[in-house]
Amino acid sequence: MRDFFLSFTMNFSIRVYGILTHNKQVLVTDEYRFGRSFTKFPGGGLEFGEGTIACLVREFKEELDLEIQVTEHFYTTDFFQASAFHSKTQILSIYYLVKCEHPELIPVTKICFDFPKEEGAQSFRWLNINTLQETDLTFPIDQKVAELLQSQASNLR
Protein backbone atom coordinates (compact mmCIF):
# COMPACT_ATOMS: atom_id res chain seq x y z
CA MET A 1 0.00 0.00 0.00
CA ARG A 2 2.87 2.37 0.80
CA ASP A 3 4.22 2.02 -2.79
CA PHE A 4 0.79 2.96 -4.14
CA PHE A 5 0.82 6.28 -2.30
CA LEU A 6 4.46 6.99 -3.17
CA SER A 7 3.69 6.69 -6.87
CA PHE A 8 1.29 9.62 -6.61
CA THR A 9 3.73 11.90 -4.82
CA MET A 10 6.64 11.49 -7.25
CA ASN A 11 6.94 13.84 -10.21
CA PHE A 12 7.79 12.34 -13.57
CA SER A 13 8.01 13.84 -17.02
CA ILE A 14 7.79 11.41 -19.92
CA ARG A 15 9.50 12.72 -23.04
CA VAL A 16 9.35 11.11 -26.48
CA TYR A 17 11.92 11.83 -29.22
CA GLY A 18 12.47 10.88 -32.84
CA ILE A 19 15.75 9.93 -34.44
CA LEU A 20 15.36 10.98 -38.08
CA THR A 21 18.35 10.12 -40.24
CA HIS A 22 19.09 10.94 -43.87
CA ASN A 23 22.35 10.42 -45.77
CA LYS A 24 24.24 9.54 -42.56
CA GLN A 25 22.98 12.67 -40.84
CA VAL A 26 20.62 13.05 -37.89
CA LEU A 27 18.12 15.85 -37.35
CA VAL A 28 18.46 17.97 -34.20
CA THR A 29 16.59 21.01 -32.95
CA ASP A 30 18.06 24.12 -31.40
CA GLU A 31 15.61 25.80 -29.02
CA TYR A 32 15.29 28.70 -26.63
CA ARG A 33 13.01 28.02 -23.67
CA PHE A 34 12.93 28.99 -20.01
CA GLY A 35 15.66 31.56 -20.62
CA ARG A 36 18.26 29.19 -22.04
CA SER A 37 19.44 27.79 -25.37
CA PHE A 38 19.79 24.06 -25.92
CA THR A 39 20.14 21.41 -28.60
CA LYS A 40 18.22 18.15 -28.52
CA PHE A 41 16.47 15.62 -30.72
CA PRO A 42 13.00 16.57 -32.02
CA GLY A 43 10.12 15.56 -29.79
CA GLY A 44 8.55 16.56 -26.53
CA GLY A 45 6.30 15.77 -23.63
CA LEU A 46 3.71 13.03 -23.44
CA GLU A 47 0.25 14.43 -22.78
CA PHE A 48 -2.34 12.71 -20.59
CA GLY A 49 -4.34 10.14 -22.56
CA GLU A 50 -1.73 9.87 -25.32
CA GLY A 51 0.47 6.93 -26.28
CA THR A 52 4.17 7.41 -26.93
CA ILE A 53 3.96 6.95 -30.70
CA ALA A 54 0.95 9.26 -30.99
CA CYS A 55 2.92 11.83 -28.96
CA LEU A 56 5.88 11.66 -31.31
CA VAL A 57 3.71 11.93 -34.43
CA ARG A 58 1.98 14.98 -32.88
CA GLU A 59 5.28 16.63 -31.90
CA PHE A 60 6.74 16.31 -35.42
CA LYS A 61 3.51 17.67 -36.90
CA GLU A 62 3.49 20.63 -34.48
CA GLU A 63 7.20 21.47 -34.76
CA LEU A 64 7.89 20.70 -38.42
CA ASP A 65 4.47 20.23 -40.05
CA LEU A 66 5.86 16.82 -40.95
CA GLU A 67 4.16 13.44 -41.17
CA ILE A 68 6.45 10.71 -39.83
CA GLN A 69 6.35 6.95 -39.53
CA VAL A 70 7.80 5.40 -36.40
CA THR A 71 9.87 2.40 -37.45
CA GLU A 72 11.28 1.01 -34.20
CA HIS A 73 12.17 1.67 -30.59
CA PHE A 74 15.76 2.88 -30.16
CA TYR A 75 16.35 3.64 -26.47
CA THR A 76 14.59 4.30 -23.17
CA THR A 77 16.34 6.05 -20.30
CA ASP A 78 17.97 3.47 -18.02
CA PHE A 79 19.43 5.83 -15.43
CA PHE A 80 18.14 8.52 -13.10
CA GLN A 81 17.93 11.98 -14.61
CA ALA A 82 16.42 15.01 -12.92
CA SER A 83 14.83 17.61 -15.15
CA ALA A 84 17.07 20.50 -16.17
CA PHE A 85 14.11 22.83 -15.60
CA HIS A 86 12.34 21.31 -12.56
CA SER A 87 14.79 19.77 -10.08
CA LYS A 88 12.15 17.67 -8.27
CA THR A 89 10.98 16.03 -11.50
CA GLN A 90 12.50 12.85 -12.90
CA ILE A 91 12.78 12.56 -16.68
CA LEU A 92 12.00 9.36 -18.55
CA SER A 93 12.84 9.67 -22.24
CA ILE A 94 11.84 7.26 -25.00
CA TYR A 95 13.53 7.43 -28.41
CA TYR A 96 12.23 5.95 -31.64
CA LEU A 97 13.75 5.70 -35.09
CA VAL A 98 11.47 7.55 -37.50
CA LYS A 99 11.30 8.18 -41.22
CA CYS A 100 9.46 10.54 -43.50
CA GLU A 101 9.03 11.19 -47.18
CA HIS A 102 11.43 13.80 -48.54
CA PRO A 103 13.60 14.58 -45.50
CA GLU A 104 15.68 16.76 -47.81
CA LEU A 105 12.78 19.27 -47.84
CA ILE A 106 12.89 19.90 -44.08
CA PRO A 107 13.75 23.57 -43.48
CA VAL A 108 17.15 23.54 -41.78
CA THR A 109 20.02 25.88 -41.05
CA LYS A 110 23.74 25.21 -40.77
CA ILE A 111 24.10 27.70 -37.92
CA CYS A 112 23.55 26.68 -34.30
CA PHE A 113 20.85 28.80 -32.59
CA ASP A 114 19.95 30.58 -35.81
CA PHE A 115 17.12 32.62 -34.26
CA PRO A 116 16.51 35.59 -31.95
CA LYS A 117 16.62 34.71 -28.23
CA GLU A 118 12.91 34.76 -27.51
CA GLU A 119 10.78 32.21 -25.71
CA GLY A 120 9.82 29.31 -27.96
CA ALA A 121 12.31 30.08 -30.74
CA GLN A 122 13.43 26.98 -32.63
CA SER A 123 15.46 25.91 -35.66
CA PHE A 124 16.59 22.56 -37.06
CA ARG A 125 19.94 21.26 -38.29
CA TRP A 126 21.39 18.08 -39.75
CA LEU A 127 24.47 16.74 -37.93
CA ASN A 128 26.76 14.11 -39.42
CA ILE A 129 26.38 10.88 -37.43
CA ASN A 130 30.02 9.90 -38.01
CA THR A 131 31.32 13.10 -36.42
CA LEU A 132 28.54 13.52 -33.86
CA GLN A 133 29.89 14.37 -30.41
CA GLU A 134 28.06 14.03 -27.11
CA THR A 135 28.76 17.72 -26.58
CA ASP A 136 26.72 18.57 -29.70
CA LEU A 137 23.66 17.94 -27.53
CA THR A 138 22.78 19.68 -24.29
CA PHE A 139 21.07 17.11 -22.09
CA PRO A 140 22.62 13.93 -20.60
CA ILE A 141 20.02 11.53 -22.03
CA ASP A 142 20.45 12.96 -25.55
CA GLN A 143 24.21 12.68 -25.08
CA LYS A 144 23.80 8.97 -24.26
CA VAL A 145 21.69 8.56 -27.41
CA ALA A 146 24.39 10.32 -29.47
CA GLU A 147 26.90 7.78 -28.17
CA LEU A 148 24.56 4.93 -29.13
CA LEU A 149 23.99 6.44 -32.59
CA GLN A 150 27.73 6.57 -33.19
CA SER A 151 28.11 2.93 -32.22
CA GLN A 152 25.32 1.94 -34.62
CA ALA A 153 26.13 4.41 -37.43
CA SER A 154 26.80 1.69 -39.99
CA ASN A 155 23.23 0.38 -39.56
CA LEU A 156 21.52 3.74 -40.11
CA ARG A 157 20.58 5.15 -43.50
**Does the residue 1 lie in any domain?**
no
Count of domains observed in the chain: 1
Task: Please give the Cα distance from 80 to 90 (Å, whole number).
Answer: 7
Candidates 60, 132, 142, 130; CA nearest to 99 is 60
Task: Write out pLDDT tens, residues 119-147.
Answer: 999 999 999 999 999 999 999 999 999 99
Task: Write out pLDDT tens, residues 71-115.
Answer: 999 999 999 998 888 888 999 999 999 999 999 999 999 999 999
**Does the residue 32 lie in any domain?**
yes
Q: What is the span of the domain harbouring residue 92?
A: 11-155
Task: Please give the Cα distance from 134 to 46 (Å, whole number).
Answer: 25
Would you give the DSSP letter of residue 133? -
**Does the residue 5 lie in any domain?**
no
How high is the pLDDT of residue 9? 55
How high is the pLDDT of residue 157? 58
Residue 109 sits in a domain of what CATH number?
3.90.79.10
**Does the residue 135 lie in any domain?**
yes
